[in-house]
Structure 1
Amino acid sequence: MLRYNIIETIGKEFLTSNTETGEYSYVYAAGGKTQLEKKVGHPVSHFKLDIRFEYDDIVVLVETKQHFILNDEKQLKDYLEEEKALHPTKKVICILANTTNDKIKVWKSFIDNEHLLINETVLDKMSHYVKLFKINKSNDRETVLKNTYSLNELLHKKDIDEHLRSQFVGTCLLYIKDIIKKKGIVLITKEFVNSLKEIWILMTPKGIRGAIEGVLSDLLDGSDNKAKKIELLQKNILENQKVRALKTDDWTEILETIILKIYRYIDTDSSEGQDILNMFFIAFNKYTGKADKNQAFTPDHITEFMCRITGVDRTKRILDATCGSGSFLVQAMVKELADCRRGKTEDEALSLMKKVKEEHIYGIEIEEKAYGLSTTNMLIHGDGNSNIKFGNCFYCKQFIIKANPDIILMNPPYNAKPIGIPEKYKIDWGKSKNGKEDPTKGLVFVHFLSDVIKEINDKREKDGLPHKTVKMAVLLPVATAIGNKTIIQSQKVSMLKNNTLEAVFTLPNDIFYPGASASACCMVFTLGEPHIKADGTVKETFFGYYKEDGFKKKKNLGRVEQFDENGNSKWKAIENEWLKLFRNHKVVDGLSATAEVSGKDEWLCEAYMKTDYSTLCQEDFQQTLNNYLAYLIREGKIYES
């Protein structure tokens, strides 16, 4: 990038130079070399910086090279030292910039690996660099997780029902976020919170509930089905008997706790902050009781894994046709928003982010409370709620066609009532069509979405357009992969007529703990591409035996991420290994396999992989014997004496 372009981009009105060549001399600024060396405390060899910008207490130092190398960082570090010696109160951004291309390297305050801003890959304007010093909250994952538990205990003490707590906290968070934004608060302090308490203590409980409703109403302006969303908010949360029973003191204590113990430890404008916010929302669901023991809240790390295997980025339109609390949609939106920042200026990123929120996130949910929860969840993460539809996905075909998804992520209900499923999908169900539960264990939802994509492609073919393929990652019970029941096998055979089974991952047994007890697998399809190709060949399916994810069960906390002796996440290393095996279709004994399969075959890794005997030990044999004995007792074949 040429010097002229650098100055125009950051802002020539902020340029400060003190030599005829337009450079900035620290010797000149100090009044001589002797004076500069006295200020620094040692002799100086570099003192002429290429470009310097200044706005209030923010300074941007830019050193240009044709192709900067590691040694050039030492030179820039010298300039930073001189800057701090002459202007100790200034906050400094340091930039190395190539003149032969657009490559840059940016540091904040210090020049070392810890202060390197890895996401700053394009030159931006001065206002952007000013904002880097005005983050109003810090990200603290551990503190948020710890305080989530104490917040749940507080709500228990206030007699807020378990099933209400997640959305109740979500609406309170939105109210707090709106106040802070309107007041333009940069730093959340105890003094600021005390000023809010002085206002709240003068309000009636009805006034506080009305203020929260007003904020939600404003946030939902322009949203599809706004009236329904407000109605559900009132009915399920604000007009709930236990919520209405809260006194002004109760409201004040709850809101103060959320600000001081949760919100101030999350910078929602950063990618990390969005991840922590998502972790908080999912963690809070773990503490709430489940009305249905089969409810399965998908763990955050699994939603992230499924986003990665399907290639979620800022160009993709995402659909979850059974979105529940919205965890898949939030994870996808967080991933897309982070990608919007990659290689873009702040203005470019904001434009892309607006498009993601308005046009890339689509969800459908039939259960009222879950629908309200998903709406709140999306709002907390910066909107994206406008395309969340209330209804039965089987009767929302036009909505799905309009969504025109590139990726489908979902965890359909495994025990849906057949009465809500169209007759065309129950022709061969026999008596099960009038039963209590879906005999396909969720596969019928996948089949339906496959049919919608086929309909989209039939129209595209008629219009002379190329076929559209859609990546789908779906969580289903392992019973669907085994497929030893006629109805399930029929669904599998039907699925492979127009779609390719790319992969199946067997997941940990307790993946939904402490919610549903179902053992699950993740199936990955390419919808719109037949499993058996036109020339008769079949692509091998990848199977992963992904039983160990580095999480352990803990009372009151669910499954908790584990770390090694160096503080590194075990899950992150495992996730990267899972992805590497899948992307390269690599076979590892005891962990993965590949095979050509049909709809009549078993779709689990256990049927195709070789055992890795090198890892077996005496404890494994003992565990097998214990499991077999437990099975015999459970089946009544032997009796414990």
Structure 2
Amino acid sequence: MIKKATYRTEDQVRDSAKIILGFDAAEAKVQQGTGQITTFNQLGFTGINDKPDGWYLPDDHNMPAIILETKSEAEDISNQKWIDELIKNCNIVATKYKQVVGILYNGIDVRVFKNNIEDTEASITLQNKTYYIALFTKNAIDKQRIYNLTKKINDCLHTEFGIKNLYHRMIFTACALVAKRYDAILIKGMDFSLMKNSILSTLSKSLEENKKQNLKLDLLIEVYSEIKMNNASNQEAIDNFIKWVSEISDCVNSDYWNGEDVMGIFFNEFNRYKKKSESGQVFTPDHITSFMYRLIDIDQNDRILDAACGSGAFLVKSMCNMIKEAGGINAKKAPEIKETQLFGIEFDREIFALACANMLIHKDGKTNLEQLDTRTQEACDWIKSKSYKTNKKGEFQKDKNGNLILTNNYITKVLMNPPFERKYGCLTIVNNVLLNVPPHTKCAFILPDKKLEKDNGAKLLKHSTLEKIIKLPEKIFSEGVTTSIFIFESGTPQNNKEIFTCYIEDDGLETVKNQGRQDIKDRWQSIEDKWVEIIRKQSGDNTIKWIKPSEHLSYQVPEKEFEISEEDFTKTMMDYLMFKQGIDVKEFGEKLLTKVLYSSSVESKDDYVSIMLKNGGDCSGQN
């Protein structure tokens, strides 16, 4: 007997939508609800007896309105007649509201229309009403303004406040941004002591709840409290700092999450002032974090590890992109992404504090951040504990076959830019990560081009597969080191499988005076799209090579063919003959030039100059 599929009725879908959207409770200065009894006439649209399935109508007509149209699960909402029905109701509401969101929902699929134009980037699952209201309140981020503000803040803290340590300037600013995020009182005219204490007080209060999960957040307060000023009496400098921090905070708090993270710009701009930290960190440019996120196909359900997280660039980029995919910062899944899907380790105490601040700026204090050394067994156990079950004693549990038992929330992807130098344990860090994440985890690392060849990287291939090497443009890092992205799959030995390699020769960025390399002509996005597709297809570019791991573990740049012109040959022969005769080439050349020029007749007509040599030769050219 074949069991018939059961579908929820339109009434059942409407009832569930009411709860999800939050239309089920009274709200001041708003008419909201669902049903098929209430007419538009009753809702204030005189003489119109059509009945919407759901409505959100604020008394303030400058606010967005929402109209819901529901169907049973058996209905296909791609049917044009259901779209027409929704648009008809939206047009009724549009007679009073400038901004109307129309939602077509069958309990499974969702289609969203902003002022009758479908929003193809909207969440594919039904969200709370705050999400749909926010669709009309997105603010684009002025990247150049962030660059300029960051430079002003850095210069102010350095010259006016006398904070000599770059990381202290970054931490002081980041803490001010966290405090601003949590409504600290920072106003023009307050003295330095009051400003610093206001930041500290707000910081302490904002961390109380988060510290229940992550006690290491106390370190942020410790580091902030240790920052000393040489001068704190310049009121104009204090007022400017507060104004500039408030401006950046407004950008961070906007609902514009298009993969361009404000703090990514902020930290990268600050980091231009110091080439490299004492712990070997080389901070990852924002456009490369975006590229690597796409290279290993991360989506909103992945759980990301960065075991050398620095200021948190990969974690924040992942958070931004995953939340955008889930439907934006007001989506139901956003808190889950922040709290359970991001894992970071940082060894340096001050940079760890910076990473904590970076996450808190995004109202995320619950991310799993730990101050550990990934070269140690303690860090290995911490990584393993994020994927495998432990008992009450903290011991890892095994099944009857002796295999570790995965949790439901295990690490699925790794994004990392570990410290490059051998003395900081670069390949030890990479090795420990590959050995302690679950098998078949995709792991992308930025490393110097020849790192695996110079430091016995072949040992990694005994337990993991190096699938791809993507050589990055030469100027990515200001330190002069040339790098590649190495993509591994953990838990599976190489066994001589060939490695896909390619070379991205240009990222489209240009050097701006005193502002570093920037995408001033907006070239990178199309370059990124092109290369993601090339690497996915593993074809479409003449730099692609397949290499044998027994021969190479780096992209092999083709050697230029040896060429020599007749002129080069003649010059070499002449130089050799004059050397044999003891003739000074430079002196001879100068005498010859003088003799030719000043023993010749020169004629000039219009823009044309003729030099007639005594022997009848002609050296003519346009002026």
In structure 2, C-alpha distance between the alignment counterparts of 1:177 and 1:511, rounded to whole Å: 32
Name the structure 1 match of 2:310: 324
In the alignment, is residue 399 of structure 1 matched against residue 382 of structure 2?
A: yes
- AA partner of residue 164 (structure 2): D
User: Could you tell me which residue of structure 1 aligns to residue 433 of structure 2?
Assistant: 449
- Pair 204,196 (structure 1): closer, same or farther in 2 beyond 3 Å: closer
Per the alignment, residue 107 of structure 1 pairs with 113
Give the Cα separation in 2 of the matches to 1:273 and 1:580. Answer: 18
Whole-angstrom CA distance in 1 between matches of 2:109 and 2:367:
38
Aligned mates of 1:495, 1:157 — CA distance in 2: 47
Match of 1:122 among 100, 121, 125: 125
Query: Helix, strand or coil: the match of 1:475?
Result: strand
In 1, the alpha carbon distance for the partners of 2:556 and 2:37 equals: 66
Q: How does 1:413-452 map to 2 (within 5 A)?
A: 413-417=419-423, 442-452=426-436
Query: Structure 2 matches for 1:451-600, cutoff 5 A?
Result: 451-453=435-437, 468-481=439-452, 483=453, 485=454, 488=455, 491-513=456-478, 516-532=479-495, 538-563=496-521, 569-586=522-539, 588-589=541-542, 591-598=543-550, 600=551
Separation of aligned partners in 2, 1:361 and 1:509: 30
Query: How far apart, in 1, do the equivalents of 2:413 and 2:204 lie?
Result: 30
2:340 is aligned with 1:359: yes
Q: What runs of 5+ residues in structure 1 fail to find an aligned partner?
A: 37-46, 181-194, 422-441, 454-466, 533-537, 564-568, 614-619, 626-638
State the alpha-carbon separation in 2 of the partners of residues 285 and 640 from structure 1: 47
Superposition deviation, residue 519 in structure 1 = 0.7
* Counterpart-to-counterpart distance in 1, 2:586 and 2:465: 48
Q: Which runs of structure 2 are paired with 1:20-31 in the superposition (5 Å)?
A: 22=37, 24=39
Counterpart contact for 2:102–2:116, Cα < 8 Å:
yes
Give the conservation status (yes or no) of the 8 Å contact 1:24–1:51.
no
Shift of 1:330: 1.8
Inter-partner Cα distance in structure 2 for 1:318 and 1:17: 39
Is 1:139–1:273's contact at 8 Å kept on the other side of the alignment?
no
Deviations 1:319-376 (A, max 9, x none): 222222221222222233334438xx96xx44x4333333332222222322222221
Aligned match for 2:362, one of 378, 381, 394 = 381
C-alpha distance in structure 1 between counterparts of 2:461 and 2:204, whole Å: 45
Q: What is the deviation of 1:241?
A: 2.8
Counterpart in the other structure of 1:601: 552
- Select 1:84's aligned residue among 74, 89, 94: 94
Distance in 2 between the 1:2 and 1:15 partners?
22
| Paired position in structure 2 for 1:56 | 58
Equivalents in 1 of 2:469, 2:90: separation in Å? Answer: 53
SS of match in other structure, 1:271: coil
Deviates more, 1:554-563 or 1:266-275: 266-275
Q: How far, CA to CA, are the matches of 2:586 and 2:286 in structure 1?
A: 41
- Structure 1 297/7 Cα, relative in aligned 2: closer, same or farther at 3 Å? same
Per the alignment, residue 616 of structure 1 pairs with none
In structure 2, the partner of 1:241 is: 229
Structure 2 residue identity aligned to 1:403: K
Q: Compute the displacement of 1:268 (Å).
A: 4.6
Shift of 1:560: 1.0
How far 1:302 moved relative to its partner?
0.9
Instruction: Tell me which residue corresponds to 2:574.
Output: none
Residue 409 of structure 1: aligned partner: 415
Residue in 2 aligned with 1:635? none
State whether residues 110 and 126 of structure 2, in contact with CA within 8 Å, keep that contact through their aligned partners in structure 1. Answer: yes
Give the corresponding residue for 2:240. Answer: 253
Aligned mates of 2:322, 2:506 — CA distance in 1: 28
Amino acid at match of 2:450: A
1:569-591 superposed Cα distances (whole Å, 9 cap, x missing partner): 421222122222222222531x3
- What letter is aligned with 1:228? L
Question: Structure 1 pair 124/379, CA: closer, same or farther in 2 (3 Å)?
Answer: closer
Q: Distance in 1 between matches of 2:361 and 2:564?
A: 49
- Find the counterpart in structure 2 of residue 93 from structure 1: 101
Q: 2:249 aligns with which of 263, 267, 288?
A: 263
- In the alignment, the residues of structure 2 paired with residue 313 and residue 112 of structure 1 have an alpha-carbon distance, to the nearest angstrom, of 26
Name the SS for the 2:253 alignment partner: coil
Q: SS state of the match for residue 272, structure 2?
A: helix
Q: Is the 8 A contact 2:263 2:358 kept in 1?
A: no
Partner of 2:199: 212
Q: Report which of the two has the higher share of helix.
A: 1
Partners in 2 of 1:414 and 1:470 — Cα distance?
22
Measure, in 1, the Cα distance between the counterparts of 2:191 and 2:536: 58
Counterpart-to-counterpart distance in 2, 1:53 and 1:123: 15
Q: Which residue of 1 aligns with 2:178?
A: 174
Contact 1:52/1:59, CA 8 A, preserved across alignment: no
User: 1:179 Cα shift?
Assistant: 1.0
Report matched runs for 1:155-166 at 5 Å. 155-158=157-160, 159-161=162-164, 163=166, 164-166=168-170
Structure-2 residue corresponding to 1:464: none
- CA, structure 1 residues 552+388, in 2 after alignment: closer, same or farther (shift >3 Å)? same
**Pair 587,125 (structure 1): closer, same or farther in 2 beyond 3 Å:** closer
Unaligned runs of 5+ in 2: 1-7, 26-30, 388-410, 569-584, 588-623
| 2:55 alignment partner AA | F
Distance in 1, Cα, partners of 2:465 & 2:37: 62
Q: Distance in 2 between matches of 1:28 and 1:292?
A: 65
Q: Cα distance, 1:386 vs. partner?
A: 5.0
Q: What's the CA shift string for 1:445-477, capped at 9, x where partnerless?
A: 223333445xxxxxxxxxxxxx72222111111
* Counterpart residue type for residue 400 of structure 1: I
Contact 1:364 1:393 in 2 (8 A): yes
Q: Which amino acid aligns with 1:376?
A: A
For the residue of structure 2 that corresponds to 1:543, the secondary structure is strand
Partner of 1:307: 293
Kindly indicate whether the alpha-carbon contact (under 8 Å) linking 1:505 and 1:543 is maintained by their aligned counterparts in 2: yes
Aligned to 1:272: 258
Q: CA, structure 1 residues 267+69, in 2 after alignment: closer, same or farther (shift >3 Å)? A: farther
Q: Assess, with a 3 A threshold, how the Cα gap between structure 1 residues 571 and 128 changes in structure 2: closer, same or farther.
A: closer
Closer/same/farther in 2, CA of residues 472 and 273 from structure 1, 3 Å limit:
closer
Aligned residues: 512
Asked whether the equivalents of residues 498 and 527 of structure 1 are also in contact (C-alpha less than 8 Å), the reply is: yes
Q: Is the 8 A contact 2:32 2:57 kept in 1?
A: no
Are residues 1:282 and 2:268 paired?
yes
Q: Which secondary structure state, in structure 2, belongs to the residue aligned with residue 225 of structure 1?
A: helix
Q: For the residues of structure 1 that align with 2:564 and 2:216, how far apart are their CA atoms?
A: 58
Percentage identity across paired residues of the two chains: 25
Q: Is the 8 A contact 1:167 1:373 kept in 2?
A: yes
Q: Which residue of 1 aligns with 2:17?
A: 9
Task: Kindly report the root-mean-square deviation, in angstroms, between the aligned alpha carbons of the 2 structures.
Answer: 3.8
TM-score by length of 1: 0.70
Give the deviation of 1:531 after TM superposition: 0.7
Q: Secondary structure at the match of 2:465?
A: strand
Alpha-carbon shift at residue 543 of structure 1 (Å): 0.4
The CA deviation at 1:518 is 0.5
TM-score normalized with structure 2 length: 0.71
Please list the CA deviations of residues 90-121 of structure 1 after superposition, one character each: whole Å capped at 9, or x if unmatched: 75322344x5x63332233x2236xx362243
Q: Which amino acid aligns with 2:286?
A: D
Structure 1 or 2, whichever has the larger Rg, is 2
Give, as a single letter, the amino acid of the residue that structure 2 aligns with 1:83.
Answer: V
How far 1:283 sits from its partner (Å)?
2.7
